[in-house]
Amino acid sequence: MLEMAQMLNKIKKLIMASRRNMIGAVVIGLAILGTIGYLILGGNGNGEIVVATKRDLVETVKISGRVEADIVSDMGFPVSGIVRTVKVKAGDRVWAGQQLAVLDLGTLYADLRSARAEVAIKRAELANLQIDLTAVKRQQDTLVESAYRTLLSASLEAEPASASYTQTPPTITGTYFGAEGTYKIIIDRNSSGGANGIKLRTFGVEKTEQIEVSDTTATALGTKGLYISFADDLTDYANTTWYVTLPNPKSSVYATNRNTYEEAIRERSAALSSAEANLRQGVGGDSIAKAQLEKTEAEVARISAEIGQRVLVAPFAGVVTVVNIDPGESASANTTALAMISAGELGVKVDLPEIDSIKVNIGDLATVTIDALDSELALPAKVVAVNRAETMVDGVPVYEARLALTAKNATIASGMTADVTITTGKKDGVLSLPARAIRYRTSGTPYILTISRGGKQIDKEVALGLRSTDGYIEIKAGVVAGEQVLVAK
């Protein structure tokens, strides 16, 4: 800039020295034009000069698309038939699973009720087989338990701890419910205990505290079902100890009871094996009963499927857009009877060219204007899906992207044309230059030509960043704010 000031000063002197000289006037004019050219073209005839400055950069992709619902569905019956009822009309809102139309079902509902009743019968038969096994097991367990209690309880005897005892051994009665073993019974006299002061304690199979002995009835021997009574005067038994073994191997009926018990175990095993075999035959994988049940269940499924083929239900919540059938008409298989769109928020579908598809990502914000509405109405939106697999349109690969409108507008309808501006990049306050100021070497490396204070051109390589839609590009390295850069013609 100092050089420019010097040249202007020289021109001024020429004007002063050449006022009376026409030729000088021409020279002055040429000098002025040359100075103007220098100022405009940077003093070298190669282009203009720009200054590296900080600014906000925004990169956008602009493209047209169409407003669409999230889901669009054309529905028809998979079988032909006479339309019995149509339960909706175009414009109706429906919920997922709602019946929309039904073909004539004939006797299918009656057939379904009959098949379900047959299933109930077959299941009851199988359940009865299982109940029989439970009953057999319960019965056999009872027989074995009874034989075992008889073995443990029959002909029990109280044996004295000393052969010198002269008392009549106590009598043991009752049915014993406990494990095999031996009772040790200690009888004491306690002046504080009852009318006679005689008490007993037990050890071995059951340990008890002192039990007051009755002199009129049998006394409970612990808690397992046995009783003890005394033939002599109770005071004669004071300070004696007795043993009761369960079962009593010295009993005359011991061998018989043992055999009865073991036979009950064998009979239980045989009875259960037989019942389990019958059950396996009834409910096993190859059993007739189970096969019959599966057959009836399959019949229920078949009839239900036939009914389902004749009933159209809404696959999702939404709005009915088309109804092509009326009651009494013949509906052909696999033709559109009704159409629906989803009840979710409307969105916009766009087909991105290859060069823009790499810029757009899920989450990018956008604005949408609808051709049919006020062009000043910019609706906010967000990219929710980008298909990275190309679709060929007229021989050109495009990439489908979907945007969700983040603000509701009741006037927008599916099918409207939309103009979309997607913000794919944004940086605030970054050093930048016009993109046309960037030059490229044959190797592809970007560089610029800066102008020094003395007017000298300096070659500098630069690192580039975001390219904004308005023609500026971020300079990450290679230049500082305020530097003058020569722009090529």
pLDDT at site 16: 52
Minimum mean pLDDT among 278-287, 365-374, 419-428: which range?
278-287
HEC string of 472-483? Answer: EEEEEECCCCCC
Is 139 inside a domain boundary? Answer: no
Is 149 inside a domain boundary? Answer: no
Same domain, 462 and 366: yes
Same domain, 442 and 372: yes
Q: Is the model more confident about 237 or about 291?
A: 237
Same domain, 423 and 434: yes
* Of 291, 303, 275, nearest in space to 116 by CA: 303
**Distance between alpha carbon 480 and the CA centroid of its chain, in Å?**
53
For 450-472, the pLDDT digits (tens) are 988 888 888 999 999 989 888 99
Residue 237's φ and ψ, nearest 5 degrees, are -95, 0
Q: Are 199 and 185 in contact (CB under 8 A)?
A: no
Per DSSP, the residues of 408-473 read: --TT--TT-EEEEEEEEEEEEEEEEEEGGG-EE-TTS-EEEEEE-TTS-EEEEE-EEEEE-TTSEE
pLDDT (mean) for 293-309: 89
pLDDT at site 35: 41
Sign of the Cα pseudo-torsion (31, 32, 34, 39, in order): positive
Location of structure tokens 């405009």: 40
What pairs with residue 428 in β-bridges? none
* Of 172, 220, 175, nearest in space to 200 by CA: 220
Q: Give exposure, 263-291, as e/b (b: 16+ Cβ within 10 Å).
A: ebeeebeeeeeebeeebeebbeeebebbe
pLDDT at site 419: 92
Same domain, 359 and 454: yes
Give counts: helices (H), strands (E), the chain.
6, 30
Q: pTM of the predicted model, to two decimals? A: 0.43
pLDDT at site 373: 81
Helix axes of 108-153 and 254-283: crossing angle, nearest 10 degrees: 170
pLDDT at site 13: 52
Same domain, 15 and 98: no
Tally of structural domains, the chain = 4
Share of the chain above pLDDT 90, in %: 44
For 398-447, the pLDDT digits (tens) are 998 888 888 777 778 878 899 999 998 899 999 999 999 999 999 999 99
pLDDT (mean) for 342-356: 84
Q: Is the model more confident about 254 or about 123?
A: 254
Q: How many CA atoms lie within 13 A of 11 on its CB side?
A: 17
pLDDT at site 36: 40
Minimum mean pLDDT among 138-147, 209-218, 287-296, 385-394: which range?
287-296
> What is the average pLDDT value for the chain, to the nearest integer?
84
Is 168 inside a domain boundary? Answer: yes
In which domain, by residue range, is 160 found? Answer: 155-246
Q: Are 241 and 186 in contact (CB under 8 A)?
A: yes
pLDDT-based confidence at residue 45 (cuts at 50, 70, 90) = very low
CA distance 290 to 283: 5
Per DSSP, the residues of 71-92 read: -EEEE--SS-EEEEEE---TT-
Same domain, 318 and 236: no
Same domain, 355 and 463: yes
pLDDT (mean) for 244-267: 94
pLDDT (mean) for 43-67: 83
* Of 199, 197, 166, 203, nearest in space to 182 by CA: 203
Q: Pick from 246, 264, 285: which residue ends a domain?
A: 246
Minimum mean pLDDT among 14-18, 134-138, 365-369: which range?
14-18
DSSP strand E in 205-294: where? Answer: 211-212, 219-220, 226-229, 240-246
For 86-105, the pLDDT digits (tens) are 999 988 989 989 999 999 98
pLDDT-based confidence at residue 284 (cuts at 50, 70, 90) = low
For residue 8, pLDDT over 70 is answered with no
Same domain, 437 and 368: yes
For 175-215, the pLDDT digits (tens) are 999 999 999 999 998 766 555 789 999 999 999 988 999 88
**CATH code of the domain covering residue 400:** 2.40.30.170
